[in-house]
Amino acid sequence: MPFASSASDPPDRPVGPLVAVTYKSAIDDPHRIVKSKAAGALFGLTPKKYQSGEKDITGGITLAGDEIVRTVLYEAANVLLSRITRFSKLKRWGMDVAKRRGSKRAKVALARKLAVILHRIWVDGTTYRWAEAGSMAA
């Protein structure tokens, strides 16, 4: 599995073996999700919508899907925002959302984004490039 960390990897990665195995066991076959963008919705990390007539209310997250995967992704987002000191464009994006909307919403948004990234990495067989963010900032 290309996104699982090994014992030789540095400990500053939010997605470790526990997150990777939990995510992989929940999805089973990555090709059953046509677009990676839908991976967040599979675990209930999208907002509830209520629309009727002129009303358009956006609520909390839907809580559909696997609760354990949702929790693990949320914790990975929490680790990325609070404990990891290494820069990445993912962390910057999460910090920007936290400034605008608050830390809890930022963690949920980052968890959803992690689900999308993990699915894309799994389908493509690539790895996440931390250094790419540093070259963009320079």
Q: What is the pLDDT of residue 97?
A: 94
Q: Does residue 48 lie in a domain region?
A: yes
Lowest mean pLDDT among 9-13, 28-32, 86-90, 114-118: 9-13
Question: Angle at Cα 81 formed by Cα 40 and Cα 101, nearest 5°?
Answer: 70
Q: Does residue 136 lie in a domain region?
A: no
Q: What is the pLDDT of residue 69?
A: 93
Number of domains composing the chain: 1
Q: Does residue 68 lie in a domain region?
A: yes
Alpha helix ranges (H) inside 1-138: 17-27, 39-42, 67-82, 89-101, 103-124, 131-137
Q: Does residue 66 lie in a domain region?
A: yes
* 135 pLDDT above the threshold of 80: no
Give which of 98, 35, 101, 39 is closest to 70, Cα–Cα: 39
Q: Does residue 74 lie in a domain region?
A: yes
DSSP, collapsed to helix, strand or coil, labels residue 122 as helix
Structure confidence by residue, pLDDT tens digits, 24-73: 999 888 888 889 888 888 898 888 888 888 888 888 888 888 899 999 99
Residue 46 domain boundaries: 17-131
Q: Is 98 buried (19+), middle (13-18) or exposed (0-12) by CB count in 10 A? A: middle
Q: Does residue 7 lie in a domain region?
A: no
**pTM for the whole structure:** 0.79
Cα separation, 86 vs 131, whole angstroms:
10
Q: Does residue 100 lie in a domain region?
A: yes
Q: Does residue 137 lie in a domain region?
A: no
